[in-house]
Structure 1
């Protein structure tokens, strides 16, 4: 793992600790898997594919597609996998922002 990834993950760990300090452990329902989220997932996937086909794809397209894939999922194991993918794209996006800021 790169130093940049480790730095972002450390920042995320700090944020998670702050959330726990404020809210404590939370065991909320997932609230995922409904038809509206499945429709939004389909729209987001289509928009992402179209944007990249036009050469106009952005991190926003990829991130939203991953987030909506997670929100559309009702199976806990699949939801977990989709959340990992969404968070990984978020980390990659943060790394890109940091690289641009370093220039």
Structure 2
């Protein structure tokens, strides 16, 4: 699948383009060999800072998670294309599951025995019980965040001997 760049794909770069324009205006340029070195240095440093503040995740190890998810998403798109499907969630039918998962997580917490399974199960069933698209999206973000935290925990554990 070939991705064609659209104008709306570039709108996120508007602040970066403004920064580059400002740097070009503010940086003296000498003519002759090496005359653009100062401009190149300024653009390189400021672009890296902008990317670090605006594009890259700030949470330690999240960049690797995002790259892994993106690679998996690209594989899905290659295999199945862009899919449109109904949500399949149900406020009434899945509320009991969400309530049971919450009670289980709270009970484990009271025994200081909470596992990633407890947390992810609770977030998953909360998402499945949601029918409002905005709230469903918020719940799915929570599911993804728990997955990111769990993967970070796996990635930073000391190797078992």
Q: Output the CA distance in 2 between the equivalents of 1:21 and 1:63.
A: 28
2:64 maps to 1:7: yes
Deviation at 1:33, TM superposition (A): 1.7
Runs of 5+ unmatched residues, structure 1: none
Root-mean-square deviation (CA), in Å? 1.4
Query: What aligned pairs does 1:22-61 form with structure 2 within 5 A after superposition?
Result: 22-61=79-118
What's the TM-score, normalizing by structure 2?
A: 0.61
Q: Output the CA distance in 2 between the equivalents of 1:6 and 1:61.
A: 25
Deviation at 1:48, TM superposition (A): 0.4
What's the TM-score, normalizing by structure 1?
A: 0.94
4+ residue segments displaced more than 6 Å: none
Runs of 5+ unmatched residues, structure 2: 1-57
* Corresponding pairs, count: 103
Q: Secondary structure at the match of 1:52?
A: helix
More helix by share: 1
